Amino acid sequence: MLNYELMYVIPGKLTEEEKKSISTKVDSLIKENDGSVISHNEWLTRKLSYPIQNTRQGTFVLARLSLPLESLAKLNRELILEESILRHQIVKIIKNKQVTPNKPTIPKVLPQEAIEALNTQHTDTKESVPEVPVEVSAEQLEEKLEKLLNEEKPVIK
């Protein structure tokens, strides 16, 4: 059996007894599908972003449950058909899943073999490819930048 979280929205203007009856109905649907309810918590009542079935306020309820994979589609269908539930979503709980950011794969400095391969790769073309320096000092960069900035560019008419 797999663990899931079921979030569903019911109309916010219901009385406490009606809310309890809906939550017990959801619990019974889960048990009919060979599942078990771990916890059932009513969260909050909020104004909905858009009206659903002419309802402007909704109460959000979270239920944690265990359910066989084969029964998931049947439970989902029964929740869709339940008129007192405005919307619902079932999410599988994955334990100990850690997301690590991707490490950059581009090296900061090219290895010497790659530089040599780049320099020898274009030798038979008409244009000569300038060699890629391994290390460039800050002074050399400033000189090159000044040279490029001081060049007069042709005016295109």
Task: Assess whether 48 and 117 both reside in one domain.
Answer: no
pTM for this prediction: 0.58
Q: pLDDT at position 100, please?
A: 62
Q: pLDDT at position 114, please?
A: 72
Q: Can you tell me the mean pLDDT for 94-117?
A: 65
- Domain hosting 118: range is 112-124+131-148
In the predicted structure, residue 64 carries a pLDDT above the cut 90: yes
Task: Assess whether 84 and 16 both reside in one domain.
Answer: yes
Share of the chain above pLDDT 70, in %: 75
Task: Assess whether 13 and 84 both reside in one domain.
Answer: yes
Q: pLDDT at position 148, please?
A: 81
Task: Assess whether 88 and 116 both reside in one domain.
Answer: no
In the predicted structure, residue 77 carries a pLDDT above the cut 80: yes
- Do 83 and 18 touch, CB atoms closer than 8 A? no
Cα 81 off chain centre by: 29
Best CA proximity match to 3, nearest among 91, 83, 80, 86: 91
Please report whether residue 135 resides in a domain.
yes
Q: Edge-to-edge, what's the strand order for the sheet holding 2-11? A: 36-52, 55-67, 2-11, 87-92
Average pLDDT, the chain: 82
Task: Assess whether 55 and 118 both reside in one domain.
Answer: no
Count how many domains the chain has.
Answer: 2
Q: Which CATH number is 80's domain given? A: 3.30.70.60
Q: How far apart are CA 85 and CA 82, in angstroms?
A: 6
Q: Tokens 């060049």 correspond to what residue?
A: 151
